[in-house]
């Protein structure tokens, strides 16, 4: 666990004044390392001794010791710490928080990505494409937009694919799936009734269910192949930016892996497609 993660986990055990110092360290750790105690106290709205007490509450001898460990922690890489955007945030703070959250989540996924399950998913998708069967993408809300993006990417690979964002259409489509088809089901929470219904029907008809969602969710439990996308983002505050970008990233990984497996014939088709599309663009002056 990084020091920033340790600070985040200890918030509930700190006094209100110490919590303000902790939030200052979490919001901008690099500035925290370079500022003197008086400036840190003023920014947090606490006394100088409170800053020192905060450091000791975390098990450090004092501010200097804490700063050394904090600087070392930042050099280890960007930790997965989610900073919530608040209504009172300035525009600059919003920019920093959104970018930091996304970068942190992507690096965390790079470290923890389920490579074996990704490999299994790519193999299942390639098998479906080569047999001429269907790949269907299901999602609702923001996940429905990701499903449409996935359909567009896989359409370019020359496969038989479609995306559904409507619950009734998902039920009808899942009913028509067969044993050699794939249903790729995308959900942030993993608790959407429509998607759970579609997954149940897809499994009933022996289709392979590839699920992109939070691990431990009801939908995750219905996956033949689970591609977990875990993050600390709430489902009910502002736009679920991090989850959507993680899901899009996973789709890009699958698309790339499938394209590699399909081999040179696909590359010829993609080159021809690019050439044909060039006639749709104005020539640069």
Question: Which residue, 121, 109, 112, 115, is CA-closest to 210?
Answer: 121
User: Residue written as tokens 């690019």?
Assistant: 274
Q: How far is CA 104 from CA 80, 94, 98, 124, 169, in A?
A: 5, 15, 10, 30, 36
Tell me which range, 33-37, 165-169, 240-244, is most confidently predicted by mean pLDDT: 165-169
Q: What is the CATH number of the domain that holds 175?
A: 3.40.50.10490
Cα gap 49→58, rounded to integer Å: 15
pLDDT tens, residue by residue, 131-158 = 999 999 999 998 999 999 999 999 989 8
**Domain end marker among 83, 104, 133:** 83
pLDDT score, position 76: 54
* Exposure string over 114-143, b if 16+ CB within 10 A, otherwise e: beebbebbbebbbebbeeebbbbbbbbebb
| Whether residue 85 has pLDDT greater than 80 | no
Whether 80 shows a pLDDT value over 70: the answer reads: no
Domain that includes residue 19, residue range: 3-83
Domain assignment present for 264: yes
Distance CA 93, CA 83 (A): 10
**Number of domain units in the chain:** 2
Tokens found for residue 273: 């497609």
- CB 250 within 8 Å of CB 212: yes
- Confidence band of 233 (pLDDT split at 50, 70, 90): low
142-198 pLDDT tens trace: 899 999 999 999 998 989 999 999 999 999 999 999 999 999 999 998 999 999 999
Answer with the residue of higher pLDDT: 2 or 132.
Answer: 132
Arithmetic mean of pLDDT, 262-269: 80
Q: What is the pTM of this model?
A: 0.68
Query: Does residue 245 lie within any of the structural domains?
Result: yes
Whether 258 and 243 have beta carbons less than 8 Å apart is answered as no
Residues 136 and 68 in one domain: no
Provide the 10 A C-beta neighbour count for residue 43.
Answer: 17
Q: Does residue 103 belong to any structural domain of this protein?
A: no
Contacts of 90 (CB under 8 A, 6+ apart): none
């Amino acid at each position: 666990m990084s020091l920033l993660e340790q600070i985040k986990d200890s918030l509930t055990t700190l006094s209100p004044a110490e919590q303000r110092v902790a939030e200052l360290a979490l919001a901008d750790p690099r500035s925290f390392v370079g500022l003197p105690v008086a400036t840190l106290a003023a920014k947090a709205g606490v006394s100088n001794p409170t800053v020192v007490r905060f450091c000791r509450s975390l098990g450090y001898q004092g501010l200097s010791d804490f700063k050394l460990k904090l600087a070392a922690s930042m050099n280890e890489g960007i930790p997965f710490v989610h900073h919530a955007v608040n209504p009172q945030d300035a525009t600059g703070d919003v920019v920093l928080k959104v970018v930091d959250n996304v970068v942190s989540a992507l690096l965390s996924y790079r470290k923890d990505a389920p490579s074996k399950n990704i490999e299994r998913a790519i193999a299942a998708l390639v098998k479906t494409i080569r047999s001429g069967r269907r790949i269907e993408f299901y999602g609702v809300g923001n996940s429905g937009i990701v499903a449409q993006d996935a359909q567009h990417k896989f359409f370019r690979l020359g496969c038989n694919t479609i995306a559904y964002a409507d619950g009734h259409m998902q039920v009808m489509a899942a009913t028509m799936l067969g044993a050699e088809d794939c249903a790729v089901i995308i959900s942030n929470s993993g608790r959407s009734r429509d998607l759970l219904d579609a997954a149940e029907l897809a499994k009933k008809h022996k289709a392979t269910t590839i699920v992109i969602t939070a691990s431990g969710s009801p939908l995750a439990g219905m996956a033949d192949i689970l591609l977990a996308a875990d993050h600390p983002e709430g489902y009910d505050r502002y736009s679920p930016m991090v989850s959507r970008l993680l899901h899009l990233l996973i789709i890009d990984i699958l698309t790339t892996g499938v394209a590699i497996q399909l081999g040179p014939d696909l590359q010829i088709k993609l080159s021809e497609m690019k050439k044909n599309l060039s006639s749709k663009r104005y020539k640069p002056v």
